[in-house]
Each structure stands twice: as C-alpha cells, then as structure tokens.
A and B are shown apart, each in its own frame.
Chain A
Amino acid sequence: NAGVTQTPKFRVLKTGQSMTLLCAQDMNHEYMYWYRQDPGMGLRLIHYSVGEGTTAKGEVPDGYNVSRLKKQNFLLGLESAAPSQTSVYFCASSLRGALEIIGYTFGSGTRLTVV
C-alpha cells in the first residue's frame, strides 16, 4: 500500500496564479484533511472531508477550496495565490475522525512558494 500520496512535491507560483494540490489514499479511509505547516505554528487545518461528496471548513480556510468527488481523492485548490500561502501543505487521512485509534496518516507534503 502506498498510503497517502501527494502531488506535486514542490511548486513555485507567481502571485495571482492558481493551482490544485492532489491527495490520494489507498487505505479506504473515510476522513481526509488538508493542513498547512508554518514555522513555529504547528499544523493548522484548512479543510476536511468526512466522506465522498462532503467538505467542511477548518481553522484557516480562506483562500482555499476543496473537493472530494471520489472517496480516495481530496483536492486542494488555490484560486489566486498570495505570498501568505507560502507554506508546506500536508494531506492526511483517518478511518473515522473522533473514533480513530491509529491516528492520522500523513502524506509526504507539498512545499509551495508564492513569489
């Protein structure tokens, strides 16, 4: 099993450009999450999904959109990138949010720089 796969691993965008980060998991997990990690601030939840076709806002959703058309995929979109969105983005998945006992499985991350 590959676990959680994120693409791309690195990306440089110009301010105002758009892009989509892809996340795929092969563990049949119900829940999927997008986090951003900035120095000294830990992991902050952007959006999450509790199942196919459903999404919800997390702690820092502004400037991002998500879609979960298939259970195994969770897409994070930036419509108009800003330098404040320079960060490392992690996708994660879990069996069931409040009831999981094995924790979240994280992807290897996408390092995004907006210039």
Chain B
Amino acid sequence: GQQVMQIPQYQHVQEGEDFTTYCNSSTTLSNIQWYKQRPGGHPVFLIQLVKSGEVKKQKRLTFQFGEAKKNSSLHITATQTTDVGTYFCAGREWNNDMRFGAGTRLTVKP
C-alpha cells in the first residue's frame, strides 16, 4: 500500500537558521498537503500542491512538489520561535485515502 515517509524526524535549529523537511511517497500522488501542529495543539492546514514541479510560497515558507509527484519539501527561511511545532505532509493517491507522514518536529533555540 501507499507509504509516505518524512525526514528528518526531529530538527533543532538556532533562531535565524533555515529548516527543511522532506516527504517521499512510494507511489505517485494526485496531490500533497502540508500541516503544522503546535505543541499540544491540532494539525492546521498550510497548503496543497497539485501540479508536477509546483512551487508555492507563504512568506518565509516555500513548498515544492517533485516532477514525478512522489516527493515534496517544505523549507523555512530564517526560522523564528513561532515556527516551533511538528510539520506533517499528507499525500493522496487518486481517489484514495490521504496518508500522513510521521512528521518532523522542529524546535528553535532563541
């Protein structure tokens, strides 16, 4: 079945450093979504990518969808303490359930 792998599992950065999390699927995806979960909170939708090679930006966050639609990445430029949390990718095959990655937990040292 479909597997969505996310790396790294943990990332600790100094405030101001960049951060990247990667998501890889064993199968071709129809779309991929990214969510952020603050400590003690619930996942909050960030963005959806649909097209091969798509790149979207939200302020300091850059999201990419691979050409083969099997991988994706989230890059945060110049991290801030407000970026702390766990970032999940969620990939969907055509007409199938959406599968979440295990998440990358980001901690930021001021």
Contacts and interface: CB of A to CB of B under 8 A. Distances in A.
A42 B48 contact: no
A42 B88 contact: yes
A45 B97 contact: yes
Interface in B89-105: 90, 92, 94-95, 97-103
Contacts, number: 52
A22 to B, nearest CB: 16
A105 B102 CA distance: 19
B43 interface: yes
Interface residues of B, number: 25
Contacts of A107: 42
A4 B62 CA distance: 28
Given A42-B103, A98-B30, A108-B42, A58 B88 contact: no
A102 B100 contact: no
Nearest to A103: B45
Interface in A25-66: 35, 40-45, 48, 58-59
A95 to B, nearest CB: 12
Nearest to A91: B42
B19 interface: no
Contacts of B52: none
B42 A90 contact: yes
Interface of A: 35, 40-45, 48, 58-59, 90, 92, 97-98, 101-109
23 contacts: A35-B100, A40-B102, A42-B101, A42-B102, A42-B103, A43-B90, A44-B100, A45-B97, A45-B98, A45-B99, A59-B97, A97-B98, A98-B30, A98-B94, A101-B48, A102-B45, A103-B45, A104-B35, A104-B43, A104-B98, A106-B42, A107-B42, A108-B41
Given A59-B97, A98-B92, 18 more contacts: A40-B9, A40-B102, A42-B103, A45-B98, A59-B99, A90-B42, A92-B43, A98-B30, A98-B95, A102-B45, A103-B35, A104-B35, A104-B45, A104-B98, A106-B42, A107-B42, A108-B42, A109-B42
